Amino acid sequence: MRARAALPEGLNHRALSMLRAAVDGRATISCSSEPDLFIDDVPCCDQYTAHTLAHAGLIEPATRGALGELVPARVTEAGKAALEPAPAAA
């Protein structure tokens, strides 16, 4: 049986999918202290995780906007590092 790659510490599959959507240019984020994330113009079903990604510095607005405005989301360098495959468990 082949060993599965471990997820980066603290990130589940949903969080990683949200980051990948931003990398693919499919995500927008609200300019707010509690930013909401939209993927393909649809609000994410897990805004708690979106807030966590933003507060952890993994995702951020790509441009400045007015309070509440939706702008493209971008993945930070820390977010890109979190997307790197973790070593496989032995």
pLDDT interval class at 88 (50, 70, 90):
low
* Residue 61, domain extent: 15-82
Residue 4 lies in a domain: no
Domain count of the fold of the chain: 1
Residue 36 contacts residue 29 (beta carbons within 8 Å): yes
- Comparison of pLDDT for 90 and 24, the residue scoring more: 24
CB atoms within 10 A of CB 10: 9
Tokens of 75: 């993945």
Does the residue 73 lie in any domain? yes
**Global pTM exceeds 0.75:** yes
Mind listing the pLDDT tens digit for each residue in 19-38? 999 999 999 999 999 999 99
CA 36 to chain centroid, in Å, comes to: 11
Q: Residue with structure tokens 């973790």?
A: 86
Pick the more confident residue, 81 or 1: 81
* Mean pLDDT of the region 43-55: 93
Under 8 Å between Cβ of 73 and 60: yes
Cα separation of 24 and 19, whole Å?
9
Residue 30 placed within a domain: yes
Tokens for 27?
Answer: 């995500």
